């Protein structure tokens, strides 16, 4: 029996695969270890493969396409209605297999390596920005306990931290000054790393014609434009602008 459609439930080490024929007869529903995954599909005739869109799905999609298969990525929220009972890897793989064949199903565009590289730049920057914000709030709250007020705004806090790291000593006990000095040093280091990511994003923005085109939209800067390109690619998966906005 020739398998025509396969649903794959991805995981870190053990994947579940559910395969059916053109008449929807189940051929297999079994687990595969990571090392067995590609060798298993290399022995199959080209078929339609469905997977939920997740952190590793784009990588596996590219690998399976290279083997000659057609791969479609489905948003997890669109797979959920096809889960018939309970929840297990086998049930999830079956639901994915059914969902991928639906004529009205919407799919996620498979990202290229270049897209994911750019997206990693944005994700790392976002992580550091959140860490910097947490540190700023902690520092502002700590010095406020000693009656010291740091005005709102990134520039004001960075200015305060810079003064402390350059040698300014507050009229506080030694242990408090040491803690504040260490926090200020950490904040300056984080701020420097964030600036590096922002400069790298701007460099990418200058090199990519699509990013330059998006930046012609009023209010769209280098960070937003490159994030859009990294997330959606050429945008052909959307039928119109309204669908993209939604």
Smallest CA-to-CA distance from 70 within 51, 54, 47 is with 47
pLDDT tens readout for residues 10-57: 998 999 999 999 999 999 999 999 999 999 999 999 999 999 998 899
Q: How far is CA 75 from the centre of its chain?
A: 13
Band of pLDDT at residue 205, cut at 50, 70 and 90: confident
Band of pLDDT at residue 228, cut at 50, 70 and 90: confident
Band of pLDDT at residue 225, cut at 50, 70 and 90: confident
Q: Using CA atoms, how far apart are residues 137 and 158, in angstroms rounded to an integer? A: 12
Please give the order of strands across the beta sheet that includes 14-20.
26-33, 14-20, 5-9, 48-52, 70-74
Smallest CA-to-CA distance from 123 within 55, 180, 68 is with 55
Whether the pLDDT of residue 238 is over 80: the answer is: no
Q: Using CA atoms, how far apart are residues 116 and 231, in angstroms rounded to an integer? A: 8
- Tell me which architecture the domain covering 5-99 has in CATH: 2-Layer Sandwich (3.30)
Write down the domain spans for the chain. Answer: 5-99, 113-245
- What single string gives the DSSP state of each residue in 120-133? HHHHHHHHHHHHHH
57-76 in b/e form (b: 16+ CB < 10 A) is bbebbeebeeeebebbbbee
In three-state secondary structure terms, 39 is: helix
Under 8 Å CB-to-CB from 179, ≥6 apart: which residues? 142
């Amino acid at each position: 029996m020739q398998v025509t459609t396969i649903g794959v439930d991805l995981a870190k080490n053990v994947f579940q695969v559910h395969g059916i024929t053109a008449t929807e007869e189940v051929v297999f529903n079994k687990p595969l270890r990571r090392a067995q995954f590609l060798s298993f599909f290399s022995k199959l005739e080209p078929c339609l493969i469905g997977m939920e869109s997740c952190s590793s799905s784009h990588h596996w999609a590219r690998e399976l396409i290279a083997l000659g298969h057609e791969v479609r990525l489905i948003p997890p929220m669109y797979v959920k209605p096809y889960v018939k009972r309970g929840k297990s890897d086998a049930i999830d793989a079956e639901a994915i297999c059914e969902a991928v064949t639906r004529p009205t199903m919407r799919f996620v565009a498979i990202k290229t390596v270049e897209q994911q590289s750019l997206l990693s730049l944005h994700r790392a920057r976002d992580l550091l920005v959140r860490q910097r914000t947490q540190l700023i709030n902690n520092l502002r709250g700590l010095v406020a306990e000693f009656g010291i007020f740091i005005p709102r705004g990134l520039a004001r806090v960075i200015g305060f931290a810079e003064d402390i790291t350059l040698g300014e000593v507050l009229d506080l006990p030694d242990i408090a000054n040491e803690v504040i000095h260490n926090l200020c040093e950490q904040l300056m280091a984080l701020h420097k790393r964030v600036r590096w990511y922002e400069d790298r994003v701007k460099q990418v923005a200058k090199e990519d014609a699509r990013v330059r085109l998006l930046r012609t939209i009023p209010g769209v800067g280098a960070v937003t434009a490159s994030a859009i390109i990294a997330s959606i690619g050429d945008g052909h998966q959307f039928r119109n602008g309204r669908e993209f906005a939604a």
